[in-house]
Structure 1
Amino acid sequence: MQEIPHIPVLYREVLEAFAPCSDGWVVDCTMGYGGHSSLLLENNPAISLIGIDQDPTAIAFSSKRLEPFGKRVEIRQGRFSEVASETIAQFGDKICGILADIGVSSLQLDQRERGFSYESDTLDMRMNPNAVLSAYEVVNEYSQSALESILREYGEVTNSRKVAETIVQRRPFASAKELSNAIFHLMPKGKKIHPSTLVMQAIRIEVNDELGELTRLLDAIEASKIKKLRVAIITFHSLEDRIVKNRFSKWSKNCICPDDAMRCTCGNNHAIGKTITKKPLCAADDELRANSRSRSAKLRIFEIRRD
């Protein structure tokens, strides 16, 4: 029997989000270890599912885990923005739901050889182990100004200039642990997260182009002609959540005239649906107790309804 390495966050909220999907295909853009996928298939016996992931380890694990669902499951490997776009073009209105869990899985974090943790003995952080760019190149080869920009924009590190300067002065680094120890004294203390977390987050986002992937996925959904669709996005930090919030807001606006326009001239019919969650859904107390990594998770849901 497989040992399940990953607890899917906000699993009850995800099931509720896709409860209206009585038939058709749900696309799990970030399948990981099949947690959300298996629950969706178990609880919605009339739907089928396309699972996407770029991690070969996740593909191998989920292929076995989801095998009991037979032809109801199709697994595709690649960057989710690209594969989801191809899938949307292929299946069109047969797709009733799209789910994306924009985060690092527990197994990726726990496998120190993957280099995601500040305790790792490597400096990697690639979700796709075959990708060219790794954390090693970012940390040891990027200019000080580029590092400062990444730390400020992706990690919201308040003293990004000093941290970037320290990294450049003390590199090369061979491991995430070594990097974390070098900058530990510069990071704010007293928070619930490890002081180096935001720096590691910033580097990981750069390595995997996470914000670009999310944006391109939303672009593909917006450009699609699907008439009825549930979109559920789980994010883990404010940068991702802001992108989703702003895009959902755009999708729900009928009028797209400039704010200073004297009167509407756009036709006032540009909304493609409505936001289901005015505020993001967060983990309940019992889930927080069972899975501490759910504390940062936020789920936003949008329902597309095109004429």
Structure 2
Amino acid sequence: MAIKIEGGTVQETPHIPVLYREVIEAFAHCKEGIIVDCTMGYGGHSSLLLENNPALSLIGIDQDPTAIAFSTKRLEPFAERVEIRQGRFSEVAKEAMSQKGEKICGILADIGVSSLQLDQRERGFSYESDTLDMRMNPNASLSAAEVVNDYSQSALETILREYGEVNNARKVAETIVARRPFGSAKELSNAIFHLMPKGKKIHPSTLVMQAIRIEVNDELGELTRLLDAIESSGIRRLCVAIITFHSLEDRIVKNRFSKWAKNCICLDDAMRCTCGNNHAIGKVITKKPLSAAEDELRANSRSRSAKLRIFEIRRD
């Protein structure tokens, strides 16, 4: 389907990019240079940024070969301004920043699984899937099957508590170990469904699936390594916009942006400042994260959890 939106047209897209207006606005001042879309997916944000900024170029990154193939075709109208690279975004973005340096004016990352990956049951991301996979890169070694069927009960409990914030993580882990092996996400969901809290807007098994997916793809580690790469890049002028979908990701981004904006890095109990009070590398643009407007929520229910934080690097 083709989707008409303010500021551009998303052509033949399998999903609607979240916070599309806010992303366009975040990079509106980037009149020339390169934007690195760390999580290109199916090209929704990338196509809008290129359409709205005729002087910009873009490096699109994704580890999913299906997304690469789709976006390569989708971004053909902007071919002379687009370079698509496959790999883990923390590694490829670091390489791009080293190669392009000050030519890069923006970094965009939309953290998490894409809508099409969720909808493709053979990928094993959905609780209705007949497989147990969840790999964003189908060639990666670790899949959800290994996590669910091979991890110890204590390891599963830790993952469920830390990545899914599952309140009864011990009981869920105990049930998984007692009833495994599992061959599908649907089978796993049915086995733990009775243990999950009811009455929320999300499916009761969602948090468990989220925790396993984060472990499989090392999503929090990837996000942290991307922020490390941006921090150490030395690029003097850079807009960083990151979309997250749950509190763990958002907390990582919030804390890192706060660190980047802090001039004094002395210990809290220091009697006086001895660090020079000049360590800030820019400023936080969004004091509170941006969320979807009512019309977007009506059009795309998956945008309800999305939060966008923006930081402007200005190194003197």
Task: Provide the secondary structure at the position in 2 that maps to 1:92.
Answer: helix
Counterpart of 2:287, as a letter, is: K
| CA deviation vs aligned residue, 1:145-189 (integer Å, no higher than 9, x gap) | 000000000000000000000000000000000000000000000
* Structure 1 residue runs of 4 or more that deviate by more than 3 Å after TM superposition: none
Structure 2 residue 32 is the aligned partner of structure 1 residue 8: no
SS in 2 for 1:169: helix
Asked whether 1:142 is paired with 2:151, we answer yes
Map 1:72-87 to 2 at 5 A.
72-87=81-96
What is the distance in 2 between the residues matched to 1:110 and 1:15? 26
**In 1, Cα distance between the equivalents of 2:208 and 2:271?**
46
**Equivalent position of 1:52 in the other structure:** 61
What is the TM-score when the length of structure 2 is the normalising length? Answer: 0.96
Gaps of 5+ in 1: none
Of 5, 16, 23, which aligns to 2:32?
Answer: 23
State the SS of the aligned residue for 1:194. coil
CA–CA separation in structure 2 for the residues paired with 1:68 and 1:185 = 50
Any idea what SS the aligned residue of 1:48 has?
strand
Structure 2 stretches lacking a partner, 5+ long: 2-10
1:271 maps to which residue? Answer: 280
Whole-Å separation in 2 of the counterparts to 1:28 and 1:206: 23
1:71 Cα offset (Å): 1.4
Shift of 1:3: 3.6
Residue 261 in 1 paired to residue 261 in 2? no
Structure 2 counterpart of 1:163 = 172
**Corresponding letter in the other structure for 1:113:** E
Specify the alignment match of 1:178 in structure 2. 187
DSSP 3-state at the match of 1:183: helix
Aligned to 2:49: 40
Deviations 1:2-54 (CA, angstroms, capped at 9, x unpaired): 74101100000000000010100000000000000000000011100000000
Equivalent residue for 1:99? 108
- How far apart in 2 are the matches of 1:35 and 1:70? 15
Q: Which residue of 2 aligns with 1:226?
A: 235
Q: Give the percent of matched residue pairs that are identical in Structure 1 and Structure 2.
A: 89
Please give the alpha-carbon distance, in whole angstroms, between the structure 1 residues aligned to 2:30 and 2:280.
Answer: 21
Amino acid at match of 1:162: K
Superimposed CA distance per residue, residues 197-249 of structure 1 (whole angstroms, 9 cap, x where no aligned partner)? 00000000000000000000000000011010000000000000000000000
For 1:243 and 1:278, locate their aligned partners in 2 and report how far apart those are by CA, in whole Å: 15
Q: Provide the rounded CA distance (Å) in 2 between the counterparts of 1:64 and 1:151.
A: 38
- Between the aligned partners of 1:18 and 1:103, the Cα distance in structure 2 is 21
> Aligned residue pairs: how many?
307
CA offset at residue 262 of structure 1?
0.5
Equivalence for 1:283: 292
**Match of 1:99, SS?**
strand
Cα distance in 1 for residues equivalent to 2:286 and 2:218: 27
Report the RMSD for the aligned CA atoms in angstroms: 0.8
Distance 1:93 1:39 in 2: 23
Question: 1:4 and 1:71 mapped to 2: Cα distance?
Answer: 21
The alignment status of 1:153 with 2:162, answered yes or no, reads yes
Q: Tell me which of 107, 131, 135 is aligned to 2:140.
A: 131
Give distance in 1, aligned partners of 2:257 and 2:116: 31
> If the length of structure 1 is used for normalisation, what is the TM-score?
0.99
